[in-house]
Chain A
Amino acid sequence: MTPCDFIALMPLLMLAAGSVLCLLIGVVKPGRYLYAASTIIVILALIWSCAIPAGAVLPGISITPFSRFSSAFLYGTGIIALLLASSYNSRCGIVGEEYPATFLFALTGMGVACAATDLLMLFLGLETFTFAFYILVAIKRDSDSGGEAGLKYLLNGTLSAAILAMGMALIYASAGTLKLAELVQGNSSQEPLFLAGGCLILLGMAFKLSLVPAHLWTADVYQGATAPMTALLSTASKGASLVALLHLLPLFGNWSGLHDIFWLLAVFSMLAGNLAALVQKNLKRMLAWSSIGQMGYVALALVATPAGGVRAAVFYLVVYAVAGMAAFGVIAALSDKDECAAIEAYRGLGFRSPLAGVVLAVAMFSLAGIPPTAGFMGKFVVFTAALRGGEAALALVGILAALIAVFFYLRIVVVLYMKPAEAQSEPVRTLDDSEMASLLLPMVIMILLGVYPQPLLELLEKILS
């Protein structure tokens, strides 16, 4: 390993070392300062990935501009989630060093998944962060729903990991290599065994992205996990999975079945997610179902891969992640001992806690795709890609699903501003500085990307080519 490789791998090393150190130091001197320390490590990793243009090609891993920026984005969501978790966890009695340590471990896995160049490393990266999530979802030991969510996530997750591993095994059996580059060149993509493996991998990835039909775990896990965790689960985990999926897509060459598979995933995810979200009474469940719908739009962009769909998918995911972060962030910031998740609990909140109200409202408008928020630009890019790819029917379904989505997202805004608070409702807790920062930052990004998305689009253009 040359010094240059070392520099390029530094963010991953920092996170991994940070995770281990957290565990070690935590035994000697536990306390909340570990959260701050971990946050600083992630911030350093983020800055390092963005600022230092070092590349490295190692066996199984290569640091490219794409991997650098995608992992930087994931670290960014991680920072916000950590800021939220820090005070949330101390409020609801999650103490101990294992939380920040596992958290850093999850981010390491994401970084590995972004940089992987063979199937084994990819699997390792994906399962590393999923494994960390099994723990983090169930970390609130006295909570029944947390335990239930952890168990459901574990069972579903191991099944999907098994499917993923089986798919990779089949591909290895067919092509005799695990290196992505060799697999793409090896032109074996039309062999039945290879395709069977590929489809199994797609199913495994559909689970991670919670696309219908592999979505059923989503609502329960989102509801049961602690809110900062749900924030990370619904944004960073989705982002890392999408990046992994993008690594895998070239395997299929120009196999026409891929188009059909994504077509079906997109239609069913958009419709099922948005229709089910209509009837939810719990904000976290509603956001969970709506995130299934949102992932449908990512799949919609991927249907049109030849027509610039990849850029659209990544852009959409970034936009979605920012809004999701803001929405779950508000839930996390407002929750005291108990989680504040029933939609009715948000009555009149826009006036009782103006900052949280505005952030949640902007997040809802962004998720609904209404300008001047980033969500509109996301929808715009996705629909442009879909129409350019000749998917008019799918775009029409997407538009109708978006209309359904407008209704349930607006319902939250209505509750926030147009329904008076109940007389005996408890006072809203005041937010501390780190929470304010972690709510304001996504909101500012939402507005900025909605008004001027050009820099991000240029960046994506550059790193995806």
Chain B
Amino acid sequence: MAYDLSKLGILMADDNPHMRVLLRRILTSLGVRNVKEADGGEAMLTLLRSFQADIVFVDWLMPGTDGMTAVRQIRAGEDSPNPYVPIIMMSGHIGIDELLEARDAGVNEFLAKPLSPRIVYDRIIKVIEKPRPFVKTASYFGPCRRRKQMRDYAGPERRGTGGTAAAA
């Protein structure tokens, strides 16, 4: 049985209009009905105040407020309207440094351009099927960066005793 994506609200930000057309086409073909577009990070942050997004797709390299800055605003901004929203970062430029930087900013999934319908669909399925709890420390707020459960881990516990809470 397939997921019904028709009730999802998706917000995308990319400065390239052709890329926005492409992503919208893919999303609507997959059944998403509610798609909003922004042509930059600032516009995306503004839209996020009035649009209840279930997933955000954001391009990294954009003039003005770039994708990474926007992600940090969403996750850690004092007046962020939706700090827990799943974020899928898109970029044509990826290496291990970029992946680590995105992870440490609170990105849920990374999507390398050029896009394909399969890879876009895969990332949506991942955020649906593999939700991660959020972690708050003095230096990080975002989805848990530990993707694997290491049951036989014998090293020191580095997470202190902050406990568990439910999101407001």
A, B in one complex:
no
Q: Interface of A with B (CB < 8 Å)?
A: none
